[in-house]
Amino acid sequence: MKVFVTGATGAIGTQLVPRLVARGHDVVGMTRWRTSRDAVRALGAHPVVADALDEEAVWHAVVDAAPEIVVHQATALRGEMNMRRIDRFYATTNRLRTEGTDHLLAAARDAGVRRFVAQSYAGWPFARTGGPIKSEEDPLDPHPPAALRETLDAIRHLETAVAGVPWAEGIVLRYGTFYGPGTGISADPEATVTKPVLKRQFPLVGAAGGVWSFVHVTDAATATVEAIEHGAAGIYQVVDDEPAPVSEWLPELARVLDAARAQSAAHGWDRATIRAIARDAGVDPALVLHFFGSKAFLFGAAMRWPFDTDAAVEEVLSGPRSRLGERLASFFLSVWEDPQRREPIMVMLRAATTNAQAAELLRETLMTVFLGPLGSRLEVPDAELRMSLCSAQLIGLGTARYIVAFEPLASLEPERVVELVGPALQRYMTGEL
């Protein structure tokens, strides 16, 4: 069958598209960004570029593709989530669930689509009555808290519109909270749930008794394939069989991350094992592997940078442009000179010298969460090259001064190191290459 997938490069799209291709389907993957076309091709699909909120662009994309089935997985769940202002975090996703859904349905109708599958959410939209177990027949909350009102209205709009189409089989999949690669609970230290857990900033409501339903993103993708191939019209909840209150799953997640960090610090990356991490956290090793996928991904989550990367970017940029290199060197020296803040970075540097996966994670993490955003703010040509040169300078300095302890560099006053290294970083950031 020919299947049109929006959100093809998102958390579930990257799991869903290859599964559809492997089963012999002809997949068209829609992405908003031209730069993502190669990523869609790598998944095995034919890329089409269109903004899901652009009615005309969506219509042409769908009608030109002439699919039998449309799968609506478009969301915009990026950045840091403020649990007290959830509607703000979901603002664009809410538009995708309302305007985007309407655009796709209109285009799918004109293209003669026979089945329309859409993503919804089973986390907290239900009426706060009765027991904690909710089925597809239970009503959504008619009076949600003010901070959730727009988000729940968008979910209700999507479900009503899709389940009610008279010209096709409308299937709504209410996924539980995703965990696994690319999701908010994952090995990415910047993930929307992992990040506040690592920073001890995840908000608790009351006695933390709220029950969350989860689903691993790969299981969600498998269920979506079944809906695409065999589903009947209706609303279905797609969750695993172990819902848990926040008071249980949150401490368990924190213990796993803390145990991974402690094991890596004590024994080195190569000798830290999943079994030892699970033992220290008091969980089954299979749970750690299911949650993170591999030791490399767990390492990436646990070994977060010991500073607020957004604030660090602002600190480096604050001041005369001619002294950027000095401020960058000074900031890193201030972190490295603090033994407690230095240790996570030293663990990463030691591991990177002997383990290829750890080295790759160090490179990707440094560039993605700090130097990459810094380079994009400089508005200079060859920003990626410039930031990679800065990365080499900083990693080399940290290794030589704090791990190998080359003298006299290891004993120099930090201010003198800044004087010597700052000009090189300045040239990399703004000078002629």
Residue 71 lies in a domain: yes
The packing angle between helices 383-398 and 324-336, to 10°, is 40
- Asked if residue 198 belongs to a domain, the reply is no
Task: Name the range with the highest mean pLDDT among 116-120, 300-304, 315-319, 363-367.
Answer: 116-120
The mean pLDDT of 336-351, rounded to a whole number, is: 75
The CATH number of residue 287's host domain is 1.10.10.60
Residues 316 and 398 in one domain: yes
Average pLDDT of the segment spanning 114-139: 89
3-state helix, strand, coil in the chain (%, to 5): 55, 10, 30
Judge whether 106 and 168 are in contact, CB under 8 Å: no
Instruction: Read off the CATH number of the domain in which 345 is found.
Output: 1.10.357.10
145 pLDDT above the threshold of 90 = no
DSSP 156-207: HHHHHHHHT-SSSEEEEEEE-EEESTTSSSSS-TTSTTHHHHHTT-----TT
Looking at the structure, do residues 235 and 251 belong to the same domain, yes or no?
Answer: no
Least confident residue range of 185-199, 219-233, 246-260, 329-343 = 185-199
Please give the share of the chain, as a percent, with pLDDT higher than 70: 89
Residue 6, helix vs strand vs coil: strand
Give the model's pLDDT for residue 131: 82
- Count structural domains, the chain: 3
Q: Is 143 exposed, middle or buried (0-12, 13-18, 19+ CB in 10 A)?
A: exposed
Q: Do the Cβ atoms of 300 and 182 come closer than 8 Å?
A: no
Mean pLDDT of the region 132-158: 89
Q: What is the pLDDT of residue 113?
A: 97
pLDDT of residue 65: 97
Tell whether 229 and 314 lie within a shared domain.
no
What residues have CB less than 8 Å from 279, skipping those under 6 apart?
none
> Which two three-digit tokens encode residue 375?
């380079």
Least confident of 48-52, 132-136, 248-252, 303-307: 303-307
Q: Are residues 148 and 23 in the same domain?
A: yes
Residue 7 has pLDDT above 60, yes or no: yes
Write the DSSP assignment of 14-51 as a string of letters.
HHHHHHHHHTT-EEEEEES-GGGHHHHHHTTSEEEE--
Is pLDDT at 224 greater than 90 in this prediction? Answer: yes
Per-residue confidence (pLDDT) for residue 13, from 0 to 100? 93
Classify residue 366: in a domain, yes or no. yes
Residue 264: pLDDT band (50, 70, 90) is low
- Domain containing 294 equals 247-302
**pLDDT score recorded for residue 361:** 65
Q: What is the pLDDT of residue 246?
A: 84
pLDDT, mean of residues 276-280: 85
In-domain check, residue 201: no
Mark whether 357 and 392 lie in a shared domain.
yes
Question: How confident is residue 269, by pLDDT bands cut at 50, 70 and 90?
Answer: low
Is the same domain home to 69 and 115?
A: yes
270 and 352 part of one domain: no
- Tell me how far apart the alpha carbons of residues 91 and 147 are, in angstroms, rounded to a whole number: 11
pLDDT reported for residue 22: 95
Residue 270: predicted pLDDT: 63
Q: CB of 106 within 8 A of CB of 59?
A: yes
Which has more confidence, 209 or 113? 113
Please tell me which residue, 244 or 55, carries the higher pLDDT value: 55
In a domain, 274, yes or no: yes
Q: What is the pLDDT of residue 337?
A: 87
56 and 121 belong to one structural domain? yes
Separation CA 171–CA 393 (nearest Å): 53
Give yes or no for residue 315 having a pLDDT over 80: yes
pLDDT digits (tens, 9 = 90+) for 364-412: 667 777 888 888 889 889 988 999 999 999 988 988 988 888 999 999 9
The CA distance from 307 to 419, in Å, is 23
* 283 plus 318 within the same structural domain: no
Supply the mean pLDDT for the chain.
Answer: 86
Is it the case that residue 69 has pLDDT exceeding 70? yes
Q: At what angle do helices 383-398 and 356-366 cross, to 10 degrees?
A: 120
What is the CATH number for 118?
A: 3.40.50.720
The confidence score (pLDDT) of residue 74 equals 94
What are the tens digits of pLDDT across the range 236-263?
999 988 888 888 888 888 888 778 777 7
Clarify whether residues 48 and 161 are in a common domain: yes
Q: Do residues 156 and 293 share a domain? A: no
Residue 48 shares a structural domain with residue 130: yes
Cβ count within 10 A of residue 200: 7
Torsion 124-129-135-136 (CA) sign: negative
> pLDDT by residue (tens digit) across 294-312?
666 666 566 556 667 778 8
Task: Average the pLDDT over 335-360 and give the result.
Answer: 74
Instruction: Report the pLDDT value the prediction gives residue 299, as an integer from 0 to 100.
Output: 62
pLDDT tens digits, 155-214:
999 999 999 999 999 999 999 989 887 788 776 667 778 778 877 777 777 777 778 888
Last residue of some domain: 191, 223, 242? 242
pLDDT, average across residues 314-330:
92
CB atoms within 10 A of CB 174: 22
